Amino acid sequence: MRKPEPQVDWEARSVTIVLGVMTATAVVVLIAPSVVILLTSFTDSASLRFPPPGFSLRWYRALFDADQMQAAAWNSLLVALWSTLLSAVLGVAAAVAVSRSRSWTARALDGLFMSPLLLPALAFGFAALIFVYRMGMRPNLLFLIFGHVIVCVPFVIRTTLAALSQLDASLEDASISLGATPAMHFRRVTLPLISRGVGAGAFLAFMASFDNVPVSLFLADERTEVLPIHLWQQIETNLDVRTAAASGVIIVVTMALMALAERFAGLSKQMR
């Protein structure tokens, strides 16, 4: 007796094919611009051209003489470091407060803390600029850091809340019954257990601050020009090929940092 041939689930197969095509398209759209920039950065031409007529490291060597670009990169690094530090402190405090309460107030605060991710970035930057002038002050480095903190805190809150949700509630009762104060419990029990979530959020906050354009565009003054704004101005005025080399450095460093964050903080797991 012949066995019946297995029926092919064409519906499931079609869904798999469609999802595969969409995934491949998304990967190409995300990766192709970075590949183009990397290839362009090695050009031996005096202008931005793709495909490059030849390959050379001349524009990477030229970065060592780009004083303004180096100053802008240093400003971006300084702002990103301070923004990340403040975002980590404020974000962890807010996440702990929200996670310990089930009231409508906590949910409202959670939505308020997440609002910078939903608001148009240009609108927020423009509103921040008006607020600064209404206070009778001018944009400076301090206001620039505060503006970055506002848009970076949500990343730390979200990953920290995800880490806190995985903790066993009985740990706090056990530590308090052994004589630990709430501060001691947080420092010795909670913080070590959520350190990966905090680290993942801090990494996202650092990258969001370093690459931020809208807030920096409105709150940076002539003395605190940051790297994204400087690169944009160079491309807009003279198509400086050094911008491609600087972008290549940023891409490589970002990939290295992502690999380290995945290795030590489990970045992809903390973002789920």
Across residues 181-200, what is the average pLDDT?
79
Q: What is the pTM of this model?
A: 0.80
In whole angstroms, what is the distance from residue 257 CA to residue 246 CA?
Answer: 16
List the domain range (segments joined by +) for residue 240: 66-270
Count up the domains in the chain and report the number. Answer: 1
Question: Domain for residue 59, yes or no?
Answer: no
Alpha carbon distances (Å) from 120 to 37, 154, 157, 162, 173: 27, 15, 19, 25, 43
Question: Domain for residue 19, yes or no?
Answer: no
Q: Which CATH number characterizes residue 121's domain?
A: 1.10.3720.10
Question: Domain for residue 173, yes or no?
Answer: yes
* pLDDT for 86: 93
Per this entry, what is the length of the chain? 272
Three-class DSSP labels, the chain: CCCCCCCCCHHHHHHHHHHHHHHHHHHHHHHHHHHHHHHHHCECCCCCCCCCCCECCHHHHHHHHCHHHHHHHHHHHHHHHHHHHHHHHHHHHHHHHHHCCCCHHHHHHHHHHHHHHHCCHHHHHHHHHHHHHHCCCCCCHHHHHHHHHHHHHHHHHHHHHHHHCCCCCHHHHHHHHCCCCHHHHHHHHHHHHCHHHHHHHHHHHHHHHHCCCHHHHHHCCCCCCCHHHHHHHHHHHHCCCHHHHHHHHHHHHHHHHHHHHHHHHCHHHHCC
Question: Domain for residue 205, yes or no?
Answer: yes
| Residues 266 and 200: beta-carbon distance below 8 Å | yes
**Using 50, 70 and 90 to split pLDDT, how confident is the model at 31?**
confident
Across residues 238-267, what is the average pLDDT?
78
* pLDDT for 271: 54
Question: Domain for residue 160, yes or no?
Answer: yes
Across residues 180-191, what is the average pLDDT?
74
C-alpha 192 chain-centroid distance: 23
| Residues 230 and 150: beta-carbon distance below 8 Å | no
- Termini Cα distance of the chain: 51
**Using 50, 70 and 90 to split pLDDT, how confident is the model at 85?**
very high
Per-residue model confidence as pLDDT tens digits over 208-249: 888 888 888 888 877 778 888 888 888 777 777 788 888 888
Question: Domain for residue 50, yes or no?
Answer: no
C-alpha 271 chain-centroid distance: 12
Question: Domain for residue 53, yes or no?
Answer: no
Per-residue model confidence as pLDDT tens digits over 135-167: 888 888 888 888 889 888 988 888 888 888 777
**Using 50, 70 and 90 to split pLDDT, how confident is the model at 262?**
confident
In whole angstroms, what is the distance from residue 163 CA to residue 98 CA?
Answer: 13
Per-residue model confidence as pLDDT tens digits over 107-140: 777 777 777 777 778 888 888 888 888 888 888 8
How high is the mean pLDDT of the chain? 80
Question: Domain for residue 120, yes or no?
Answer: yes
List Cβ neighbours of 46 (8 Å cut-off, separation of 6 or more). 241
